[in-house]
């Protein structure tokens, strides 16, 4: 009798320990997704703060390019709204618009030698390009964390714990098709 009780107790303790480990693993994944999204938010905020400086520098030279400058401003606002709403689908679309309008702005700068020679413009252009690369890297890390979370909450036996404690899937930060295709450099200069 005593051995049966010890075995039963060991099985119960092992089961509890195993369920706690599954739960803690899911919590860790959920917080990893949040952390990576917060890292993206930091970079988006930095870029958000740099863009008005770039636009102001460009305004001094590009008096006839208000439409392009307005597109950058509008796209920047769309990113801000999507970011504050944590809407990954809208954020992906807004990011695509912002990257396109910023690319147009940099392409138009080619027509303004004084602007290209301006040290503030060059520094801001370089800073924004660095931020764009960092954002792309962080989006990749975020999507990997989302994928890990989404797979785990669907796998057995994790799915039992996930449903019981209402763990949910997260949306991937998707890119627009135009963002993953080759860039037509000639079109940027027309």
Question: What's 43's domain CATH number?
Answer: 1.20.1440.20
If the chain, 190 residues long, is cut into consecutive pieces of 10 residues, what is the mean pLDDT of each piece?
A: 88 94 94 91 87 82 77 88 85 86 84 81 86 88 93 92 93 67 46
Domain count along the chain? 1
What is the C-alpha separation between 128 and 138, in angstroms, rounded?
A: 15
SS3 163: helix
Total-model pTM:
0.71
Residue 49, in any domain of the structure = yes
Residue ranges making up the domain that contains 82 = 27-188
Tens of pLDDT, residues 63-86: 767 788 888 889 889 988 988 888
- In this predicted structure, what is the pLDDT of residue 177? 57
> Residues 109, 126: contact at Cβ < 8 Å?
no
Residue 2, in any domain of the structure = no
Residue 22, in any domain of the structure = no
Three-point CA angle 92, 85, 91, nearest 5°: 5
Residue 144, in any domain of the structure = yes
């Amino acid at each position: 009798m005593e051995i049966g009780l010890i075995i039963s107790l060991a099985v119960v303790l092992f089961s509890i320990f195993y369920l706690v480990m599954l739960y803690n693993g899911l919590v860790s994944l959920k917080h990893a997704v949040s952390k990576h999204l917060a890292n993206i938010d930091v970079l988006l905020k930095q870029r958000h703060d740099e863009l008005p400086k770039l636009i102001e520098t460009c305004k001094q030279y590009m008096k006839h390019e208000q439409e392009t400058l307005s597109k950058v401003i509008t796209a920047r606002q769309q990113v801000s709204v999507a970011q504050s709403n944590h809407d990954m689908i809208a954020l992906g679309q807004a990011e695509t618009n912002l990257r396109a309008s910023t690319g147009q702005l940099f392409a138009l700068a080619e027509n303004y030698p004084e602007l290209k020679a301006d040290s503030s413009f060059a520094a801001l252009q370089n800073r924004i390009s660095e931020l764009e690369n960092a954002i792309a890297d962080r989006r990749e890390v975020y999507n990997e964390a989302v994928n890990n979370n989404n797979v785990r909450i669907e796998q057995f036996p994790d799915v039992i714990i996930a449903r019981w404690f209402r763990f949910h899937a997260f949306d991937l930060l998707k890119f627009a098709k135009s963002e993953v295709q080759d860039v037509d450099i000639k079109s940027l200069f027309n």
